[in-house]
């Protein structure tokens, strides 16, 4: 990967000395961050655990975002319900506090009716950080069987003519029937899990076909991606790019780009198909090259006001996790270095430390800029992926226990 001088010298708070950066790279090469980075990440994790201890007992639903710094809840989880129990699981693994384990289990059970939901592609977001992680950490078959049942619901959204999983809308609704979004790459690991647990390859086959379709039509020559790509649902023929979350069909929504990096790397690990790894690298190279010196992503990398635009810390948290995974898959230290800079930037500049009333851990997130919905608020997936990223760095064995970070041999 070509790294610009600005990227090499940038840190969360600006320029840092070359000696300090070299020290960080050397330490990262051994699997451990440099001492200064280690301290920043441990301090952030400690803050997150303390915040969760204070807030979690009073949470009455599934957080979807904040209003005036307080969580707003969804009773059924919307598309984000898996992140709250997932965050509690990460806090349990980091702290050893069984109180978080109890709260995670209680919260995850509230998603049980969604196992049968065929109206959304987001079942991976709902069930992987909650039920799959619960299965891996408790061994209780209730969680495994429920996650497999959710995978059964998800594959009903597969269009065999276009070889894609439909993103939005009830199966009986012709609206959006041919709409594919980059986010769905993050829902495919639920299908890989179902194939591993059942021995039935149909789930992973569908995930692989969807990933191949996404790889074919989403990445542009420079590695950027649109949010949406439309197909004719009857014939499966491609129609063209679009957007809902991004600035335009020709722009690059930052969180979507992060979903792509993480999702394609995961699909490489589940299949051994190097084409998915190459795609993850192309997307990562574009995103890392588009970062500003503060290493907190703008909401859209190609919007006219970037790099001086509204921030989305959640995109940085997701991207950090994807880059850590990609660094391990490729052996390229530069990806890990950038991931550590992202996590350090979030820890230093995006936590809610200065507010006594804040319910969340991470601030400066943007949910849907074009709709003016949730601009620079807190979002539950930012908290989750920040802790996941920290666990991947400080406690990789525990992260593996929760997530399954294994890689299958290449075919």
Residue-wise pLDDT tens digits, 219-243 = 999 999 999 999 999 999 999 999 9
Q: Where are the alpha helices (DSSP H) in 361-411?
A: 380-394, 396-403
90, containing H or E segment = helix 83-95
| Angle at which helices 35-55 and 380-394 cross, to 10° | 140
Q: What is the DSSP letter of 368?
A: B
The structure tokens 């957080």 sit at 63
Q: What is the DSSP letter of 367?
A: S
Helices and strands (DSSP H and E) totals, the chain: 16, 9
- Whether this prediction's pTM lies above 0.85 is answered by yes
Do residues 405 and 397 lie in contact, with contact meaning Cβ atoms separated by under 8 Å? no
Do residues 300 and 252 lie in contact, with contact meaning Cβ atoms separated by under 8 Å? yes
- Between 41 and 410, the more confident residue is 41
Tell me the chain's radius of gyration from C-alpha atoms. Answer: 20
User: CA dihedral defined by 69, 74, 80, 82, rounded to 10 degrees?
Assistant: 110
CB neighbours (10 Å) of residue 355? 12
Instruction: Name the β-bridge partners of 65.
Output: 72
Q: Where are the alpha helices (DSSP H) in 250-312?
A: 254-271, 274-290
Say which range, 13-17, 83-87, 278-282, 330-334, has the weakest mean pLDDT.
13-17
Do residues 365 and 317 lie in contact, with contact meaning Cβ atoms separated by under 8 Å? no
pLDDT tens, position by position, 307-357: 999 999 999 999 999 999 999 999 999 999 999 999 999 999 999 999 999
Catalytically active residues, by annotation: 122, 183
CA separation for the pair 39, 30 (Å, rounded):
17
């Amino acid at each position: 990967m070509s790294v610009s001088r600005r990227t090499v010298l940038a840190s969360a708070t600006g320029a840092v000395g070359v000696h300090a950066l070299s020290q960080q790279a050397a330490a990262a090469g051994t699997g451990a961050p440099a001492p200064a980075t280690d301290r920043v990440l441990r301090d952030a994790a400690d803050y997150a655990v303390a915040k969760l201890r204070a807030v979690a007992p009073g949470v009455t639903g599934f957080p979807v975002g904040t209003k005036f710094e307080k969580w707003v809840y969804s009773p059924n989880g919307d598309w984000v319900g898996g992140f709250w129990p997932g965050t509690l699981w990460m806090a349990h693994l980091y702290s050893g506090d069984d109180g978080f384990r109890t709260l995670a289990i209680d919260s995850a059970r509230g998603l049980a009716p969604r196992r049968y939901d065929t109206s959304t592609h987001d079942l991976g977001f709902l069930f992987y950080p909650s039920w799959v992680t619960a299965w891996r950490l408790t061994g209780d078959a209730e969680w495994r069987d429920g996650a497999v049942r959710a995978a059964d619901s998800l594959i009903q959204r597969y269009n065999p003519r276009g070889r894609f999983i439909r993103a939005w809308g009830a199966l009986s609704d012709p609206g959006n029937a041919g709409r594919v979004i980059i986010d769905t790459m993050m829902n495919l690991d639920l299908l890989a899990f179902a194939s591993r647990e059942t021995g039935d390859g149909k789930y992973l086959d569908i995930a692989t076909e969807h990933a191949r379709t996404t790889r074919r039509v989403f990445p542009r020559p420079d590695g950027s991606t649109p949010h949406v790509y439309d197909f004719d649902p009857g014939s499966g023929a491609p129609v063209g790019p679009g957007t809902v979350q991004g600035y335009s069909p020709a722009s690059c929504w930052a969180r979507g780009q992060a979903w792509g990096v993480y999702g394609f790397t995961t699909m490489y690990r589940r299949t051994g198909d190097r084409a998915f790894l190459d795609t993850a690298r192309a997307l990562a190279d574009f995103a890392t090259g588009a970062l500003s010196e503060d290493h907190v992503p703008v909401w859209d990398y190609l919007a006219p006001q970037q790099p001086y635009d509204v921030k989305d810390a959640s995109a940085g948290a997701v991207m950090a996790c994807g880059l850590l995974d990609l660094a391990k898959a490729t052996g390229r230290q530069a990806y890990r270095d950038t991931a550590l800079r992202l996590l350090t930037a979030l820890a230093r500049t995006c936590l809610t430390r200065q507010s006594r009333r804040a319910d969340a851990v991470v601030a400066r997130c943007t949910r849907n800029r074009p709709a003016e919905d949730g601009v620079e608020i807190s979002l539950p997936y930012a908290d989750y992926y920040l802790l996941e990223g920290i666990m991947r760095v400080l406690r990789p064995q525990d992260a593996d226990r929760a997530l399954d970070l294994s890689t299958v041999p290449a075919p």
